[in-house]
Structure 1
Amino acid sequence: MSYTIYLVEDEENLNELLTKYLESEGWHVTSFLNGESARQHIGQSPHLWILDIMLPDIDGYALIKEIKNEDPDVPVIFISARDADIDRVLGLELGSSDYISKPFLPRELIIRVQKLLKLIYKKDAPDHKKGLSVAKYRVFESLREVYEDDKKISLTSKEFDLLLLFMNNQGRAFSREDILTHVWGEDYFGTDRVVDDLVRRLRKKMPDLKVETIYGFGYRMLKA
């Protein structure tokens, strides 16, 4: 499987070197030289982030908070010229999976990435033949999990409930009020605009779903 990796490293020569090593393993690498350019791609669901802590604008700690807020399950490896124990502990507390101190051999990074990807994406992967197919995704209702190839897509509880509603009623039009009742329950009190936000988030995470907007009414998922 070809994994997608986002690399954030402001030292241009090191960025290019690490990119070449990572791509030599058959992985697709998108590299960034600063935090702000990387921030624009948060939510695009790579398989792995590699973050330098010391960046010229936004530091790695601020970035990982935003990354984990959008995708709690995506693994992150920190790289840093600082080798202080407090940095390692803080990184772990913020959700990093590993920490490498500079200077390091590029091959060391490759080995750590290989082990982490295998651990995250191969362990406990369900039998895709048993899942329900919708578009390019496999949905496991009892596990409440969704996969695209071997990559797990992280959905919130309400996002998954909305997906099931659409999947089990393909072609049927739902008003915003219908969706509120099915996903939030009859006792929900608030604006129906939360439905628009929920649909937007589901489309962003699963862009190949054919969810159609019925203007002035609601939504429906077209049959594949």
Structure 2
Amino acid sequence: MDNKILIIEDEDSIRGFLKINYKKHNFIVIEAATGEEGIAKARIENPEIVLLDIMLPGIDGFQVCEILRKEFSHMGIIMLTAKGQDIDKIKGLENGADDYVLKPFNTMELILRTNSLLRRLGQKDSGERNDTIDSEVFQLDYYSQRVYKHGREILLTPKEFLLLKLFLQNQNKAFTRDELLDKVWGYDFAGDTKIVDVNIRRLRSKIEDKNSQTMYIETVWGTGYRWRKEN
């Protein structure tokens, strides 16, 4: 089955070029030239992936990302950002983006990243088995991509979900940032490891107990992160 991607990009030449290449790789392509148009089409078409430029007329890509993430928790969002704009990358990730790609980009790399994200969202493997993880506090259902803490659902982005799944399956194991990039993002990541730190920070804000000194996700100084094994 073809996968559906929404390209939100105001430059006609870039949008047209992406459309041609994604269609060659069996994607159904929906286009939007503004943030407002992109949000409207996302609500109608419900694409698996959104390719989102930051610099848009009207509301910018950050605002679009924030709105889409609130409405579509399991939608994959890849942001396009100008080379060297680190603050843009971090802000996009904080708003719920799963990945970012620097302009000018290599089209084949972009498509590979899209396919990697799709696989991890479970869209390509219709035979994915129902995999439920139960701990003392959390219940994670991989088939429905739902997470519960003490029976109450927590809304996570796809990358946050995969990080939590990895930690729960490997409690007490210390992961380096490079290991987390490889296991969660699933490719030879061309950017820096800030993407891991931002996603960990977001995940912590959603799952940690407020006003508690005990943390589920511990920082391992000089290494990375580990999940504190639940008693």
TM range (shorter): 0.5 to 0.7
| 2:111 corresponds to | 110
| 1:75 corresponds to | 76
- 1:39 is displaced (CA, Å) by 1.8
**Deviation by residue 1:138-168 (Cα, 9 ceiling, x = unmatched):** xxxx95965xxxxx79xx96xxxxxxxxxxx
Whole-Å Cα distance in 1 between the matches of residues 52 and 102 of structure 2? Answer: 12
Q: For this pair of structures, how many residues does the alignment match?
A: 139
| 2:25 corresponds to | 25
- 1:31 is displaced (CA, Å) by 1.0
Change (3 A) 1:125 1:97: farther
Whole-Å Cα distance in 2 between the matches of residues 85 and 60 of structure 1? Answer: 15
| Structure 1 gap ranges (5+) | 129-141, 147-151, 158-224
| 2:65 corresponds to | 64
- 1:105 is displaced (CA, Å) by 2.0
Aligned residue for 2:41, secondary structure, equals coil
Whole-Å Cα distance in 2 between the matches of residues 125 and 97 of structure 1? Answer: 24
Matched, 1:48 2:31: no
Aligned residue for 1:42, secondary structure, equals helix
The 5 A counterparts of 1:52-201 are: 52-121=53-122, 126-127=128-129, 143=141
Whole-Å Cα distance in 1 between the matches of residues 84 and 8 of structure 2? Answer: 18
Compute the RMSD of aligned alpha carbons: 3.0
Amino acid at match of 1:4: K
* TM-score, normalised relative to structure 2: 0.53
**Deviation by residue 1:108-147 (Cα, 9 ceiling, x = unmatched):** 211111111112225796448xxxxxxxxxxxxx95965x
Larger Rg, first or second structure (1 or 2): 1
Change (3 A) 1:114 1:143: closer
- 1:81 is displaced (CA, Å) by 2.3
Percent identity (aligned): 30
* TM-score, normalised relative to structure 1: 0.55
- 1:82 is displaced (CA, Å) by 4.7
Amino acid at match of 1:14: I
Matched, 1:38 2:35: no
Change (3 A) 1:145 1:104: closer
- 1:42 is displaced (CA, Å) by 3.1
Whole-Å Cα distance in 2 between the matches of residues 41 and 63 of structure 1? Answer: 12
List 4+ stretches of structure 1 deviating above 3 A.
Answer: 122-128, 142-146
